[in-house]
Structure 1
Amino acid sequence: MKEDLILMVDSGSDLPISFVEQPNVMGLSLNCNIEGKTVEDYFGQTLDLKWFYDNMRNGQIYTTSQVNTYKFEEAFEKLILDGKSVIYLGLSSGLSGTVNNAFMAINNLKEKYPNCDITVIDTLSASMGIGFLAIQAYEMMKADKTKDEIVNYIENVKLKVNHYFTVDDLHHLKKGGRVSSTAATVGTLLDIKPILHVDNEGKLIPLYKARGRKKSIHELAKNFIEKSSDEMQLITISHGDCYEEARYLEELCRKKGNVKQCEINILGPTIGSHTGAGVLALFFESNKR
């Protein structure tokens, strides 16, 4: 592995802390607003996620705030002074302004360090969709691929990473404007579970509805089985404190799909604040989203 190359990911990737603690990986905290205080979300280490989701089940509403330009400048400048090259995989610009602040930080730093080698990638992805890209990028780093090879790969593959979500509680989607108040109320009464995806603009879009939780989980697996290639491949799954259902989704994918590796992790508050407890998401590569 090239010692001067750093892969940076933010906590909107929902990667486990074990990934971030590997050599040449750097994590960046995003922010969640809890009970009037700003709490940094550092990959599940700064907040009890069981407590977080239990509170959401009891009606607690949380908000998030983007990382400002100064924080990016501070993080990037330390790496520049250490002589590092950086690839930062940022949370979709269709969901957050954070990555745009990273671009602004680089422009500011280039006035002071014109030869700095920092590449910011708007992944147009979220949660373990970013995690999917990060895992692939890190494997390339371990194989001593060049920075340009890794960046080109990420840019070419990012719009092939499919994101399929379902949620257990429609009211958090109502809060975010994804469904109307009427749809949330009626959907709850009829046990309607929406299937959503992230489109090519990196925005979360409702696709269709399933009746009941089990049916919605089967629909996630069905999308993978129908859209994925014939080659054995990586899939990633994230969940809002519903690990057993995440494992069930993995089993469904393995039963009829070509799964080489599956990585499962809980969503942190950056994404979980907007989706609520019980969210379940599946990520995999196909010819297109």
Structure 2
Amino acid sequence: MRIYADSATDLPLSYYEKTTVDLFPLRVHIDGQDYEDVVGIHAKEVYDKIRQGAQPKTSQVSPETFLNEFETLAKNGEQGIYISFSSALSGTHNTAVMMRDQILETYPDFQLVIIDSQAASMGYGLLVKRAVELREQGLPLKEIEEKIRAMVPTVEHLFTVEDLDYMARGGRVSKASAFVGGLLNIKPLLHVEEGKLIPIEKVRSRKKVLRRIVELVGERGVNLSKQTVAITHADDLETAEEMKHLLTEAYGIQNFDIQMIGSAIGAHVGPGAISVFFLNQTQDN
């Protein structure tokens, strides 16, 4: 059984290679060049270019990429599961469904499940990692599908950005809001709800917004000391480590997965963004 994911998981390339999860790279356009996220350009290069004034754009996985991969899977008589980047944030999910349905016309017995993660970054990555665990346990496709679909609404995202200007460039906030926020040192606190980015509140100063995130983790999380909590950062490992320390101190969390936010998402949030991902309901085995 093949498991597919796209690069919006923010899982490193080494994870894909180690677990034999098949990667669909999103695309990043910067300084007149097109790159495949993760395999063609490292996120650190993108952040450095953004700091120098570049304004990257991103695009979804091409229909041809899905069609070719799914057709090969169908011809080989293999089963597959593709957990996709949130359909509210990218057209990738809908494109994959269309290509799957096209293949089904020729191969009516083709078994490919496509699940909308309704998530981004390591919120999405947690779902993929769980699917890999279930595959390793030998569960059949239908059971894995059921468990992952049940897990989707339990994944919590909390994040903030260093500079609202980066989100304004991508149309996520107005330029006026970004300007005023910059003057007042306001840091937005956001989460993801049904796959969409939703602002929760605005907090004065970086230090206060980090502590507010820690508070919300405690309010929303369940059995935190038994979870693996993911932290992602946009080229700011120092703050990610600070967040790890705060969470350990507050809730006794021992297991963390710290990753850099990849190019596809980093292009929209900009350097300095910090995110925390955890579950509001624990999963059975």
> TM-score normalised by the shorter chain: which range applies?
over 0.9
Match of 1:205 among 168, 186, 198: 198
Give 1:259's aligned residue: 253
Deviations 1:137-172 (A, max 9, x none): 111111112211111111111011011110001012
**Which residue pairs with 2:222 in the alignment?**
229
Match of residue 191 from structure 1? 185
**Structure 1 CA distance for aligned equivalents of residues 76 and 20 of structure 2:** 12
Q: 2:104 aligns with which of 85, 106, 110?
A: 110
Tell me the number of residue pairs that the alignment of Structure 1 and Structure 2 aligns: 281
CA–CA distance in structure 1, aligned partners of residues 168 and 243 of structure 2? 25
Give TM-score, length-normalised by structure 2.
Answer: 0.94
1:20–1:27 contact (8 Å) kept in structure 2: yes
* Alignment counterpart, residue 266 of structure 2, candidates 272, 276, 289: 272
Alpha-carbon distance, 1:80 to partner: 2.5
Preserved CA contact (<8 Å) 1:233 1:258? no
Q: Which runs of 5+ in 1 are unaligned?
A: none
Match for residue 29 of structure 2? 33
Shift of 1:9: 0.9
**Counterparts of 2:116 and 2:216 in 1: how far apart (Å)?**
25
Counterpart Cα distance in 1 of 2:254 and 2:99: 38
Cα distance in 1 for partners of 2:220, 2:76 equals 43
The Cα of 1:247 is off from its aligned counterpart by 1.5
- CA shift at 1:241, angstroms? 0.4
Structure 1 residue 6 displacement after superposition: 1.2
Q: Deviations over 1:39-80 (max 9, x none)?
A: 111x3x421322210221222111011122221011122222
Q: Is the 8 A contact 1:132 1:235 kept in 2?
A: no
C-alpha contact 1:240 1:278 (8 A) present in aligned 2 = yes
Aligned to 2:242: 248
Identity of aligned residues (%): 37
Report the alpha carbon displacement of residue 36 of structure 1 after superposing the two structures with TM: 2.1
Counterpart Cα distance in 1 of 2:133 and 2:219:
26
Q: CA deviation at 1:124?
A: 0.7
Contact 2:42 2:263 in 1 (8 A): no
CA distance in structure 2 between the aligned counterparts of 1:245 and 1:8, rounded to whole angstroms:
31
Cα separation, 2, equivalents of 1:251 and 1:281: 14
- The separation in 1 between residues aligned to 2:209 and 2:48, in whole angstroms, is 22
Q: Pick from 43, 57, 61: which aligns with 1:63?
A: 57
Q: 1:221-251 deviations in whole A, cap 9, x for unaligned?
A: 2211221113511211111101111111112
Amino acid at match of 2:23: G
Query: Which whole-Å CA distance do the structure 2 matches of 1:219 and 1:27 have between them?
Result: 34
Are residues 1:147 and 2:175 paired? Answer: no
Q: CA deviation at 1:258?
A: 5.0
Q: Is the 8 A contact 1:174 1:180 kept in 2?
A: yes
Task: Label 1:101 to 1:30 Cα distance change in 2 as closer, same or farther (>3 A).
Answer: same
Q: Deviations over 1:165-184 (max 9, x none)?
A: 10001012212333222221
Of residues 222, 233, 240, the one that matches 1:239 is 233
Task: Name the amino acid aligned to 2:33.
Answer: K
Secondary structure of 2:138's counterpart equals: coil
Q: How much does 1:287 deviate?
A: 4.5
1:15 paired residue number = 11
The one-letter code of the counterpart of 1:225 is G
Q: CA deviation at 1:220?
A: 1.8
Look up the equivalent residue of 2:269 and give its one-letter code. T
Structure 1, residues 2-54: CA drift from partner, whole Å, max 9, x if none?
xxx1111100111011210124411111111112222111x3x4213222102
Q: Distance in 1 between matches of 2:93 and 2:273?
A: 24
SS at match of 1:21: helix
